C-alpha cells in the first residue's frame, strides 16, 4: 500500500471527523463571531469620532455655543449641545454616558473618567476664543481685525512609527501577524497533541500501526489538522476583513499581498515544525492527563519564540533580528515580521524557508522513530530519554540488518 | 503459511522472545498458548512489524513481510481499542481502506459483516454508544475488513459470554475452512482443544511445543486412564508404575506409561469393586500444557 495514500486517508479522516464534531463547529462559530465583534464593536459602540455631546450648566456667554461648534468643525467633529438647569443634573448625564463632558460656568470641565484630549482641546479652545473676543471688544478691537489675528494656523500630524523609514501600518501588520501566527500554531499544535494522545489512550493506535508505519500516521494527522487550521484561520481573517469593510471602523493597514502570502507560508511551516514536535512528545504520554506535562518544554520554547519575535519587530534591521528570523524555532514568527516591516531582502525568506524545511525533515525522521518506540508503550509515562535510547538502539540494529523482515526463501 | 524463524527480542535486559520458531498453516486454527508474560503478544506483534526483532525473521508464504503483505493480514490486539467517537461503519470502512482496498469493496465487506453480526441497525452510531459485547464485535470486524489471508487474534475469547464464545469459535473455524491462516492466543485450554488443529506453547520466551495437537498428545509418553467403579476404592499402591492424578468416591484418574499393561489396572479395580467405565487416552491439552510449561 502506497504510504502517500495512507497519509492522505489519515488526513481526510482528521478533517472529516473533526469538521463534523459539535465542539469544533461551536468553537468555529464562536471564533467567527468573536472576530466580527472585535472588529465591528468599537465602531458600533462609538457614536463615531465625528459627534460629541457637550452639556452646559450655569451661565455661559451667548457666543460660547457657536464658538464651540466652529471649533469642532475645524477638527471634523460635530458638537451637540445640551443644557442642564442644575450642575447635579449635568453630572448625572455625564455619569450615565449621555454626554461626553459637562461644561460648568464656562470654566470647569467635568468628565466621567479621563479627559478626551481632543474634545478637551475643542472645548478649551472655544472658551479661550470667547474670552479673547470679549476682551478684544472691551479693548475696542474690531471683530474683523480680531478674526485675522486669531485665524488658526493649519497643523498636520505625521505618524513616524517606531522605526525610521517604516510606516506604523507595517508595524501594525507585523504585530497582528505575530499574534495570529502564535495563536494558530499553539492551537493547532495542541490539537495534534490531543489527537495523538487520544489514539494512544484509546489503544486505537495498535490497530492503525498494524496497517501503516508510524510516520505516515503522524504525517497524515499533522497534514489533516493543518488543512483544517489553515481553512479556519483564513475564514476568520475573511470575516474580520468583511466586518472591517462593512462598518468602516478599524484602519486596516495597507498590507501588501506578498506579505499575506508569506504569512500563509509561515503558518504552514511553523505549524508543521511545532505540530511534529507536539505529536512526537504526545506519544510519550499514556493518558490525556500526562499530555501537558510532556509538552511543557515545547510550549515554553514557543512562548519564548513569540516574545523574541515580538521584540525583533522594533529592530527589524539588526543582525540579531536577522538571525532570529533564520533560526527554525523562531523563524515562523520572526520572518513574517521582517517581511511585513520590509526589512527582509528577497533572499532572506528563502534562507529561512530552507533552514526550517531542513529542521522539519530532521524532526519528522527523529519524531517518527521516537513515536514508533513510544506509542505502543503503555503503563507509566516514558521519558524522552528512554524513548530516544530505544529509538537510537533500534535504529542501529535496523541499519545493520536488511530493512525487510528477512531474505526470501529460494 | 506464517513462519517465525529464530525470532529473538530483548527489552532492555529482559528476553521477551528467545529464538522462537513455529508455523501457522493455512486452513487450520492454531492456538497460541502460554502463561501470562510468556511472550505471546510480543510474538504476534512481530508479524505486524510493531516489534522490531533483534534476530530472526518472520515469513509469510516463504517470503519477507512488507506493507503489501500486511495489507492482507487481519489483527485484533490484546488491548482492544477503536476511535470511541467515530461512527461504526465509517470507522470500519476507514480501517479497510488503510489496508489498500478500494472503498466499494471495503463497504461491501463491512456491510456484510455488520449484517451477519446483527449490527446493521447500529452502523451509524458512535462506537461508544454500543454495549461492550457489540464493541467486541466491531473490533472483530475491524480485523476482517480486508478479507485477510492471515488472521492474528490476541485473546479473542477474553471477556466473551458463553454464547459469544460459541459464535466466535464457529466463525474462526469457518474462516479457516475458507482457507485463511488463523493464529490466536488463549488461556481457555478446553476451548482450544475443541477447535484447534495445531497448537504452539510458549514459556518464558521459548517455544516449548508446536505442531499438530493430536500428534503432540500422542507423542507424550504418558497415558491417562479414567475409571469409574461401584464399591470400595481400589488399592492403587499395588501398581508401582501408576500415578494417581486425581481421585474421588467412585472414580479415579491415573497416569500410566504408554506401554503399560492395562489388564493389571482392570484387575486391581476388580479386586475391590465393580468396574463401571474405563477410558485410556493421551493427555488432555491442559495436561500437556502443564507438563510442557513446568519442564
Q: Which residues, 6+ apart, have CB-to-CB distance to B288 below 8 Å?
A: B201, B209, B216, B217, B220
Contact in structure between B223 and B258 (CB atoms under 8 Å): yes
Q: Which three cell numbers stand for residue A173?
A: 501588520
Closest Cα in chain A, distance from residue B249 (Å)? 49
DSSP class per residue in A373-400: HHHT--SSPPPHHHHHHHHHHHHHHHHH
Mutation target among B11, B21, B72, B81 for the A interface, most CBs of A within 10 A: B81
Mutation target among A406, A408, A409, A410 for the B interface, most CBs of B within 10 A: A406
Q: How far apart are CA A283 and CA A371, in angstroms?
A: 6
The least confident of A162-176, B138-152, B153-167 is A162-176
Q: How far apart are CA A186 and CA A209, in angstroms?
A: 27
- Contact between B82 and A207 using a beta-carbon 8 Å cutoff: yes
CA distance to A107, B214, B239, per residue, from B258 (Å): 124, 15, 15
One-letter-per-residue 3-state SS of chain B:
CEEEEEEEEEECCEEEEEEEEEEECCCCEEEEECCCCCCHHHHHHHHCCCCCCCEEEEEECCECCCHHHHCCEEEECCCCCCCCCCEHHHHHHHHHHHCCCCHHHHHHHHHHHHHHCCCHHHCCCEHHHCCHHHHHHHHHHHHHCCCCCEEEECCCCCCCCHHHHHHHHHHHHHHHHCCCEEEEECCCHHHHHHHCCEEEEEECCEEEEEEEHHHHHHHCCEEEEEEEEEECCCCHHHCCCCEEEEEECCEEEEEEECCCCHHHHHHHHHHHEEEEEEEEECCCHHHHHHHHHHC
| A110 CB-contact burial (10 Å; exposed 0-12 / middle 13-18 / buried 19+) | middle
Q: Are strands B73-76 and B55-60 parallel, antiparallel or unpaired?
A: unpaired
Q: Which of B50, B73, B97 faces A206 most closely, judged by CB atoms?
A: B50
Q: For B101, name the nearest residue in chain A, comparing CA atoms only.
A: A1
- Model pLDDT, residue A65: 85
Q: How far apart are CA A34 and CA A40, in angstroms?
A: 10
Number of residues assigned to chain B: 295
- Contact between B62 and A206 using a beta-carbon 8 Å cutoff: no
Contact in structure between A380 and A286 (CB atoms under 8 Å): yes
Q: Look up residue A289 and give its DSSP letter.
A: G
- Contact between A204 and B100 using a beta-carbon 8 Å cutoff: no
Average pLDDT over residues B52-77: 92
Q: Which helix (H) or strand (E) holds A110?
A: strand A108-110
Over 90: is that where the pLDDT of B153 sits? yes
ipTM of the complex: 0.86
- Contact between A9 and B98 using a beta-carbon 8 Å cutoff: yes
- Contact between B83 and A406 using a beta-carbon 8 Å cutoff: no
For chain B, the residues whose C-beta falls within 8 A of a C-beta of chain A are: 5, 45, 48-54, 56-59, 62-68, 70-71, 73, 75, 77, 79-86, 94-95, 97-100, 142
Name B201's bridge partners: B33, B209
Over 60: is that where the pLDDT of B286 sits? yes
Rg (CA), chain A: 31
Contact in structure between B213 and B197 (CB atoms under 8 Å): yes
Average pLDDT over residues B177-199: 93
Residues of A in contact with B57 (CB under 8 A): 405-407
- Model pLDDT, residue A290: 80
Q: How far apart are CA A5 and CA B48, in angstroms?
A: 19
Q: How far apart are CA B47 and CA B69, in angstroms?
A: 10
Q: Which of B52, B56, B81 faces A207 most closely, judged by CB atoms?
A: B81
Query: Taking the model in full, what pTM does it have?
Result: 0.76
pLDDT digits (tens, 9 = 90+) for B15-64: 899 999 999 999 999 999 999 989 999 999 999 988 889 999 999 999 99
Q: How far apart are CA A360 and CA A358, in angstroms?
A: 5
Over 90: is that where the pLDDT of B272 sits? no
Q: Looking at chain A from residue 64 to 83, which residues have their Cβ under 8 Å from any Cβ of chain B?
A: none
Q: Which three cell numbers stand for residue B25?
A: 498453516
pLDDT digits (tens, 9 = 90+) for A40-53: 776 666 555 578 88
Q: For A17, name the nearest residue in chain B, comparing CA atoms only.
A: B86
- Model pLDDT, residue B20: 94
Q: How far apart are CA B57 and CA B221, in angstroms?
A: 33
Cα-to-chain-centroid distance, residue A223: 22
Q: Which of A9, A397, A409 faces B63 most closely, judged by CB atoms?
A: A409
- Contact between B77 and A405 using a beta-carbon 8 Å cutoff: no
Low-confidence ranges of chain A (pLDDT < 70): 1, 42-49, 159-165, 248-256, 377-382, 387-410
Q: Which residues, 6+ apart, have CB-to-CB distance to A105 below 8 Å?
A: A57, A58, A59, A60
- Model pLDDT, residue A49: 59
Over 90: is that where the pLDDT of B173 sits? yes
Closest Cα in chain A, distance from residue B240 (Å)? 52
Closest Cα in chain A, distance from residue B84 (Å)? 7
CB atoms near residue A108 (< 10 Å): 11
| A223 CB-contact burial (10 Å; exposed 0-12 / middle 13-18 / buried 19+) | buried
- Model pLDDT, residue A380: 59
- Model pLDDT, residue A12: 94
Q: Collect contacts of A83-92 with beta carbons under 8 A, ≥24 apart.
A: A83/A55, A83/A56, A83/A57, A84/A55, A84/A56, A84/A57, A85/A57, A86/A57, A87/A57, A87/A58, A89/A57, A90/A55, A90/A56, A90/A57
- Model pLDDT, residue B295: 66
Q: Which of A5, A13, A408 faces B64 most closely, judged by CB atoms?
A: A408
- Model pLDDT, residue A251: 58
Residues of A in contact with B94 (CB under 8 A): 9, 13
> How many CB pairs lie under 8 A apart between chains A and B?
96
Q: Which residues, 6+ apart, have CB-to-CB distance to A249 below 8 Å?
A: A39, A40, A42, A43, A44
pLDDT digits (tens, 9 = 90+) for B202-257: 999 999 999 999 999 888 888 889 999 988 888 888 888 888 888 888 899 988 88
CA distance to A15, A342, B266, per residue, from B181 (Å): 36, 66, 44
- Contact between B58 and A406 using a beta-carbon 8 Å cutoff: yes
- Contact between A3 and B48 using a beta-carbon 8 Å cutoff: no
* A406 touching B (Cβ < 8 Å): yes
Using CA atoms of A281, A286, A287, A288 in order, give the dihedral in degrees to the nearest 10: 20
CA distance to A332, A367, B292, per residue, from A360 (Å): 12, 10, 52
* A380 touching B (Cβ < 8 Å): no
- Model pLDDT, residue A35: 83
Amino acid at each position: 500500500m502506497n504510504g502517500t495514500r495512507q497519509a492522505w486517508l489519515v488526513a481526510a479522516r482528521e478533517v472529516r471527523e473533526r469538521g463534523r464534531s459539535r465542539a469544533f463547529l461551536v468553537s468555529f462559530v464562536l471564533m467567527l463571531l468573536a472576530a466580527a465583534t472585535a472588529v465591528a464593536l468599537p465602531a458600533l459602540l462609538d457614536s463615531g469620532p465625528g459627534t460629541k455631546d457637550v452639556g452646559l450648566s450655569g451661565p455661559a456667554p451667548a457666543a460660547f455655543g457657536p464658538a464651540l461648534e466652529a471649533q469642532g468643525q475645524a477638527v471634523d467633529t460635530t458638537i451637540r449641545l445640551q443644557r442642564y438647569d442644575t450642575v447635579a443634573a449635568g453630572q448625572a448625564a455625564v455619569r450615565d454616558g449621555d454626554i461626553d463632558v459637562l461644561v460648568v460656568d464656562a470654566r470647569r470641565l467635568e468628565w466621567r473618567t479621563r479627559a478626551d484630549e481632543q474634545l478637551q482641546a475643542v472645548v478649551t479652545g472655544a472658551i479661550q476664543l470667547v474670552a479673547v473676543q470679549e476682551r478684544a471688544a472691551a479693548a475696542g478691537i474690531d471683530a474683523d481685525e480680531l478674526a485675522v489675528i486669531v485665524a488658526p494656523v493649519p497643523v498636520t500630524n505625521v505618524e513616524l512609527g517606531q522605526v525610521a523609514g517604516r510606516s506604523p501600518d507595517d508595524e501594525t501588520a507585523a504585530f497582528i501577524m505575530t499574534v495570529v501566527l502564535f495563536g494558530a500554531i499553539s492551537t493547532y499544535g495542541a490539537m495534534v497533541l490531543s489527537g495523538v494522545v487520544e489514539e494512544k489512550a484509546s489503544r486505537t493506535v495498535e490497530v492503525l500501526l498494524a496497517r501503516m508505519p508510524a510516520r505516515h500516521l503522524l504525517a497524515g494527522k499533522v497534514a489533516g489538522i493543518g488543512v483544517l487550521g489553515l481553512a479556519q484561520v483564513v475564514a476568520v481573517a475573511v470575516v474580520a476583513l468583511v466586518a472591517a469593510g462593512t462598518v468602516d471602523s478599524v484602519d486596516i493597514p495597507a498590507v501588501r499581498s506578498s506579505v499575506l502570502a508569506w504569512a500563509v507560508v509561515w503558518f504552514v511551516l511553523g505549524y508543521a515544525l511545532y505540530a511534529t514536535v507536539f505529536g512526537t512528545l504526545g506519544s510519550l504520554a499514556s493518558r490525556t492527563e500526562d499530555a501537558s506535562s510532556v509538552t511543557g518544554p515545547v510550549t515554553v520554547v514557543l512562548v519564548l519564540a513569540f516574545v523574541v519575535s515580538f521584540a525583533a519587530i522594533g529592530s527589524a534591521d539588526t543582525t540579531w533580528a536577522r538571525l532570529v528570523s533564520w533560526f527554525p524555532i523562531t523563524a515562523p514568527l520572526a520572518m513574517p515580521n521582517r517581511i511585513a516591516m520590509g526589512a527582509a531582502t528577497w533572499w532572506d525568506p528563502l534562507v529561512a524557508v530552507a533552514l526550517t524545511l531542513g529542521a522539519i525533515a530532521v524532526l519528522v525522521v527523529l519524531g517518527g522513530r521516537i513515536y514508533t518506540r513510544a506509542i505502543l508503550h503503555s503503563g507509566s509515562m516514558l521519558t524522552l530519554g528512554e524513548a530516544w535510547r530505544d529509538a537510537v538502539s533500534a535504529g542501529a540494529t535496523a541499519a545493520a540488518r536488511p530493512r525487510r523482515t528477512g531474505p526470501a526463501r529460494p | 503459511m506464517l513462519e517465525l524463524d529464530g525470532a529473538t527480542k530483548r527489552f532492555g535486559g529482559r528476553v521477551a522472545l528467545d529464538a522462537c520458531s513455529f508455523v501457522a498453516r493455512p486452513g487450520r486454527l492454531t492456538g497460541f498458548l502460554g502463561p501470562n508474560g510468556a511472550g505471546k503478544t510480543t510474538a504476534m506483534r512481530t508479524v505486524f512489524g510493531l516489534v522490531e526483532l533483534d534476530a530472526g525473521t518472520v515469513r509469510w508464504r516463504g517470503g519477507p513481510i512488507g506493507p503489501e503483505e500486511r495489507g492482507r493480514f487481519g489483527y485484533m490486539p490484546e488491548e482492544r481499542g477503536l476511535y470511541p467517537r467515530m461512527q461504526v461503519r465509517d470507522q470500519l470502512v476507514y480501517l479497510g481502506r488503510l489496508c489498500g482496498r478500494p472503498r466499494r469493496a471495503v463497504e461491501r465487506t463491512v456491510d456484510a459483516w455488520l449484517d451477519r453480526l446483527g449490527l446493521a441497525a447500529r452502523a451509524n452510531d458512535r462506537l461508544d454508544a454500543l454495549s461492550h459485547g457489540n464493541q467486541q464485535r466491531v473490533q472483530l470486524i475491524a480485523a476482517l475488513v480486508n478479507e485477510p489471508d492471515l488472521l492474528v487474534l490476541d485473546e479473542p475469547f477474553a471477556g466473551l459470554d458463553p454464547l459469544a464464545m460459541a459464535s466466535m469459535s464457529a466463525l474462526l473455524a469457518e474462516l479457516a475452512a475458507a482457507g485463511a491462516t488463523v493464529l490466536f492466543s488463549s488461556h481457555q485450554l478446553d476451548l482450544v482443544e475443541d477447535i484447534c488443529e495445531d497448537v504452539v506453547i510458549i514459556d518464558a520466551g521459548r517455544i516449548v511445543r508446536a505442531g499438530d495437537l493430536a500428534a503432540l498428545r500422542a507423542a507424550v509418553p504418558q497415558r491417562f486412564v479414567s475409571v469409574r467403579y461401584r464399591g470400595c476404592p481400589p488399592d492403587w499402591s499395588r501398581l508401582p508404575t501408576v500415578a494417581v492424578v486425581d481421585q474421588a468416591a467412585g472414580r479415579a484418574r491415573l497416569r500410566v506409561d504408554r506401554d503399560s499393561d492395562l489388564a493389571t489396572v482392570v484387575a486391581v479395580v476388580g479386586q475391590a469393586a465393580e468396574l463401571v467405565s474405563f477410558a485410556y487416552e493421551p493427555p488432555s491439552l491442559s495436561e500437556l500444557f502443564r507438563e510442557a510449561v513446568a519442564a
